[in-house]
Amino acid sequence: MKTKLWIVDKSETKHESYPQLVEASMLLKQGEVVAFPTETVYGLGADATSDQAVDKIFSAKGRPSDNPLIVHIAEQSQLDDFIEEVPDHALRLMEAFWPGPLTIILKKKEGLSDKVTAGLSTVGVRMPDHPIALALIKEANLPIAAPSANLSGKPSPTTAQHVIQDLDGRVSGIVDGGATGVGVESTVVDCTTEIPVIFRPGGVTREQLESVVGEVLVDPALLKEGEAPKSPGMKYTHYAPDAPLLIVDGSKEFLQKKINEYQQSGKKVGVLTTDENKAYYQADQIICCGKREDLATVAHDLYHVLRSFNEYDVDTILSESFPVEGVGQAIMNRLIKAAGHHVISE
């Protein structure tokens, strides 16, 4: 399959400024898969009402079909076509955070492919805060099912080049709208319960959610190994670079001690650190992932840095840990998934 590439300047704010998206939307209407940028990561989109189209997402990614997908919309009125009800707390969250990096789980009715929801009676929906994504969805006039546009298990893509590395020849088209903003996926919140429950931390923090709807619970499966997660994209190991990744929970001195131990056993060691600490470590490859004093920069760079290690000859990657508060919860959740829950504590 030849993959088409459309380059679109997202600084053009008028819908008419994106003639390239007409061809991309036609492919979506024809049941093909097209990758496109959102404010979080690049998504791999297909018509959420078509079994055949959704099958192509799973095939292109190599993603298990029992892993549900998030549906992307451009206008709230689209919910009428496939959502049974929108509870009051869900409505308040939509008003506060849509468009934006928040996926809301709601009870579905007929209208979507069962393959989108992996047979569940609920579906995750979001409205991306990205002019190109919104324009594409409007042009296609369809709800678009879209997981991240990477091979299953690999770090999510934050540039079109990442998508090309993973999916060139496997998808019909890629819309290149430049680098994404947030860097980690949307927060997923179940609003089918009386008290909302976070199934996946992401670009909207628990604190932000609670400022709108009061108490918000966290799914115990998030940071625990062995618990079965209920969110799209969280059921299997994800985000992993080629070399094994371990999280080191402790001081800089403890991490350097671990580097030394691995090097003494003959391994080349990479270190994932931050601007504040990079000068401290001695390792075979050191890559910075933003500023510890501004965790939003770490979230923004995380997947790019995980992918960057694949360009170097390292046998093991040791990562610093981060505070599990605010966007730090999303960062640690992704790192723990990438490390297969391998954490070394001081």
User: Residues at the annotated binding site for L-threonine?
Assistant: 40, 72, 122, 126, 146, 186
Residue numbering of the annotated binding site for ATP? 63, 67, 148, 156, 200, 239
Q: Strand 34-37 vs strand 42-47: parallel, antiparallel, or unpaired?
A: antiparallel
Compute CA distances 323 → 294, 327, 331, whole Å.
11, 9, 9
- Using CB atoms within 10 A of its CB, is residue 2 exposed (0-12), middle (13-18) or buried (19+)? exposed
* Whole-number CA gyration radius for the chain: 20
What share of residues in the chain are helix, strand, coil (percent, to 5)?
A: 35, 20, 45
Give the Cα-Cα-Cα angle 313, 333, 199 (nearest 5 degrees): 145
Mutual angle of helices 295-308 and 328-338, in 10-degree steps: 20
H/E stretch holding 117: helix 114-117
The answer for residues whose C-beta is within 8 angstroms of residue 78's C-beta and 6 or more apart is 143
Which residues are annotated as part of the binding site? 40, 63, 67, 72, 122, 126, 146, 148, 156, 186, 200, 239
Q: Distance between CA atoms of 114 and 130, rounded to whole angstroms?
A: 27
Query: Helix 295-308 and helix 160-167: axis angle, to 10°?
Result: 30
Question: Whose structure tokens read 């959102």?
Answer: 38
Task: Identify any residues that bridge with 269 across adjacent strands, giving them in sequence order.
Answer: 316
**Which 8-state DSSP code applies to residue 79?**
G
* CA–CA gap between residue 201 and residue 140 (Å, rounded): 29
